[in-house]
A and B are shown apart, each in its own frame.
Chain A
Amino acid sequence: MRNANILILTDEAEFGRLLGTCWQTERQAPGITVLGSDLWSEHEEIDHELVVVGPLREGKSAEILKSLAPATAVILCAPADSRELSQLRSRYPRLVHIPLREDWTQTLLLVAGESLRRTEAQRAARQAENKAARNEHHATLGRYMMDMKHSVNNALTSMLGNAELLLLEPGQLSSQSLAQIKTIHNMALRINEIMQRFSSLSSEMQEVETAPSLAENQDEPTPTGTRR
């Protein structure tokens, strides 16, 4: 709750003051914003984890609730009949009604704490999902690179080997051609070094993963057309 932000919407100053005081005595006090209905704008950006709607001027409750996104966590702390509550709950699944009875502040603090914990858990779940999606993308890229590594190594084998064969026959080539072949050979060696780094990276990643599969060393024949 330490970094939570709570918006209290009420036209009764005492309601806001009382709640604020109660929260200040908590070990982890949230950030609290108190607004009256006259300051509330329908287009106001909501970056609060919880909205507490207290007593408002006549007709303002419906107007304010209508302006909130359905996913907003709302605690309604104002008189409401059962029919009205039923309608509100169908629109706001996360709405909780706390009647203004004795010890309502304690009840509200308990419910608010649970609501904030739920919001925090949902945020953590979303972050984990996003991270999992990013990791999946990285894994796809890594698999593609490893698949391509075999093809690159084969191509490099030809480049290095043929360059070496040509360099073994220096008399057949001009000095300029020899220099160019040496350059090709050196560049191929450099690419090889880069590929070795990819291999090292891959090994490190495989160490992290569990149960390395020997399935790659399969007995099944490689599908026709697949390069080494």
Chain B
Amino acid sequence: MAATLAADVHLGSTDKSLERLAVQKRVLIVDDSPAQVKLIHGLLEREGYSPIDLNDPRRVEETIVSQRPNLILLDVVMPERNGFQVCRELKASSEFGAIPVILVTSKDTASDRFWGEQQGADGYVTKPFTREDLLRAVRRFV
């Protein structure tokens, strides 16, 4: 589904910037910490991905609609709306459910992982992660 979305954009427009966006894999980074978002952004950007930054988990759906990401990296512990909630609601949605979601969190116990899987997460990366840890998880999907 993620690949289809990218292809739709590519085929539906002749605009050069949109074409470039379609080729680049867009990864939505949702984390209330600007420092964490900036770091992940930097790590992904130099690998050719097109990162989309979001600090407010309440705006995930509208950002997906406007940016059409191929993958979502989702923090868990956030104010207002935690990552488990976001993941569960995305996966229950017919519109967004096919987009892969990787939980990126410092919650590293077996029960945390289990709970993340229960919410429908496709991957789980624990903080602190190395560049390779993150890229390995991302490359599974895009």
* B130 contacts across to A, CB distance below 8 A: 160, 164
The answer on a CB contact under 8 Å between A158 and B35 is yes
The answer on a CB contact under 8 Å between B127 and A221 is no
Q: B106 at interface (Cβ–Cβ under 8 A)?
A: yes
Interface size on A, residues (CB 8 A): 35
A224 contacts which of B36, B80, B106 (Cβ < 8 Å)? B80
The answer on a CB contact under 8 Å between B39 and A222 is no
The answer on a CB contact under 8 Å between B131 and A199 is no
Residues 101-118 of B, flagged 1 when their CB comes within 8 A of A and 0 if not, give 000011111111001000
Interface size on B, residues (CB 8 A): 35
* A157 contacts across to B, CB distance below 8 A: 36, 39, 106, 127-129
A154 contacts which of B81, B109, B127 (Cβ < 8 Å)? B127
Decide: A224 near B115, CB < 8 A? Known: A154-B127, A165-B43: no
* A156 contacts across to B, CB distance below 8 A: 127-128
Q: B76 at interface (Cβ–Cβ under 8 A)?
A: yes
Residues 155-178 of A, flagged 1 when their CB comes within 8 A of B and 0 if not, give 011111110110010000000000
- What is the interface of chain B, defined by CB distance below 8 A to chain A? 31-33, 35-36, 39-40, 42-43, 46, 75-82, 84-85, 105-112, 115, 126-131
- What is the interface of chain A, defined by CB distance below 8 A to chain B? 149-150, 153-154, 156-162, 164-165, 168, 188, 192, 199, 202-203, 206, 212, 214, 216-228
